[in-house]
Chain A
Amino acid sequence: MNFLREHFKKILFFLTIFILIIMIGLSSIGRTENADLGFFGNLISGFQKVTYKTGLTLTNSFYSVQEIVKMREENIMLTETVYSLKEQVRILENIVNKSDVLETEYEMKKNLSYDYVVGQVIALDDSNWFSRFTIDKGKNDGIKQNDIVIQAVKTEDGIVQIGLLGIVAETSSNWSKVITLLDESCKVSFRDINNDESGIVQGSIDSNVTGYFFNSKVSADIGDNLVTSGIGEIYIPDIYIGDVKEVVKTTDASTQRIIVAPAVEFTKINRVYVLTK
């Protein structure tokens, strides 16, 4: 009894550490749920929403003053790009319209729509090791674990996707945690639309998105567009991931690793679209 009283703090310290290690083990294999802070969590997420918006407004106004000079040049460049893209679309539509099969597929993909929830980012963990963020929508808004999160813009014709952001890892009543494409624990099966081959891309601790093809004989070219393949039934197919930035031969030289430039700029995320399937 005296021993317990004398070493109470040490016992408590080691017991807590032991319990936490067990909790990490169980939680990592999905045997236990993460702590739900309930009302307190909702309160914190409410405050986070306000501070995030304030920070975003402050930085945006700072950069907008800084970038006024650049905007004119950018405007000219964008106008030229729009003309060039319009021409490309005309050529492609001309080709598509000549084939019934292609036209049917084009109409099918054009009209493909998903139910979605618009969320606002309220917190970021952009630390060295992880890349995650929290949004202000949760179970009450119909968001579930493994829902896809994309960046998109709303136009008169509907939602136009910019690119894949990540996946919902966990939901609470009024907020959800999202693992981004840059995070080590995010794996996505992709399809290279230039050669129609599939593979896997994965984030990493150094925030590089790298991947490989299932077929080791396949080679990719720099600039190839990658979209989700839909294999594994977690990611909806044809969500734009990004372009091939670099092709690296692996040490055994029989396979090659691709380094991907994601379509989305992860440092400037604000409004996100959660596809609720």
Chain B
Amino acid sequence: MKRISLMSSLIVLFFIFQTSFFCFFNHFNVIPNFSLILLIILAMLSDGLTGGILGFMTGMLYDAMIFDIFGVYTLIYFFIGAITGSFSDDMLRENYLVYGTITGLSTLVMHFLLYLILFFLRFRVQTAGSILPGIILETVINAVLAVFVLKFVIYIFDLFKVKA
């Protein structure tokens, strides 16, 4: 219970900072997605069910506080959280490179799913090609930052004496 409460608090904290603080650091028009990085790390440190719940929570925060169509971010983050959590047992949790790779892959999956959903919602996605360089740069930045976020998460878990 203490573990899930701590994870949920981190999700909310990262959401607040992502939407109202990190937006000022959009150099090269790219903002790293700390909410996604955190979700991947927490999902990898737990299982599919917890990953799904945390993903659902992250997405719901975005849908409720920012986006006007409910479910878009909830679906994407739930899917990513649940899938990452389900396969986390088969991954080398001690290897930092795995966290970076999964975070990078998840960033691409997130944008691909957004593309698909927006296509079905009749958005003019033909112009999406122009944002591709930004997405690739975001993928690389997210993958690199995953290591630092992991270190931070482990530090917080140790601080509250919760098993990582």
Contact = CB atoms under 8 A, between A and B. Distances in A.
A59 B125 contact: no
Nearest to A133: B66
Contacts of A124: 19-20, 23
A123 B66 contact: yes
A28 B127 contact: no
Contact of A185 (B21, B64, B123, B138): B123
A205 B65 CA distance: 20
B24 A206 contact: no
A107 B57 CA distance: 54
B71 A21 contact: yes
Contact of A17 (B31, B60, B79): B79
A41 B66 CA distance: 11
Interface in B15-31: 15-17, 19-24, 26, 31
Contacts of B135: 128
B68 A129 contact: no
B1 interface: no
A124 B18 CA distance: 9
Nearest to A179: B68
B26 A125 contact: no
Interface stretch (B48-56, B88-96, B98-106, B149-157): B48-56
A177 B66 CA distance: 6
A35 B63 contact: yes
A99 interface: no
A227 interface: no
Contacts of B78: 16-17, 20
B4 interface: no
B12 A44 contact: yes
Contacts of B65: 37, 41, 44-45, 48, 123, 134, 175, 177
Nearest to B115: A129
A249 to B, nearest CB: 18
Interface string B113-132: 01001100101110110110
Nearest to A33: B70
B49 A9 contact: yes
A48 B14 CA distance: 11
B69 A27 contact: yes
Given A28-B121, A126-B31, A184-B123, A48 B68 contact: no
A137 to B, nearest CB: 15
B82 interface: yes
A35 B128 CA distance: 28
A51 B20 contact: yes
A58 B25 CA distance: 11
Nearest to A177: B68
A235 B86 CA distance: 48
Nearest to A37: B64
Contacts of A33: 70
Interface in A19-61: 20-21, 23-24, 27-28, 32-37, 41, 44-45, 47-49, 51-52, 54-56, 58-59
Contacts of A126: 23, 26, 31
A47 B17 CA distance: 9
A55 B134 CA distance: 23
A146 B148 CA distance: 42
A13 interface: yes
A170 interface: yes
A211 to B, nearest CB: 13
16 contacts: A13-B82, A23-B70, A35-B63, A36-B64, A51-B16, A54-B21, A58-B24, A123-B20, A124-B20, A128-B111, A132-B68, A169-B68, A170-B68, A185-B123, A205-B127, A205-B131
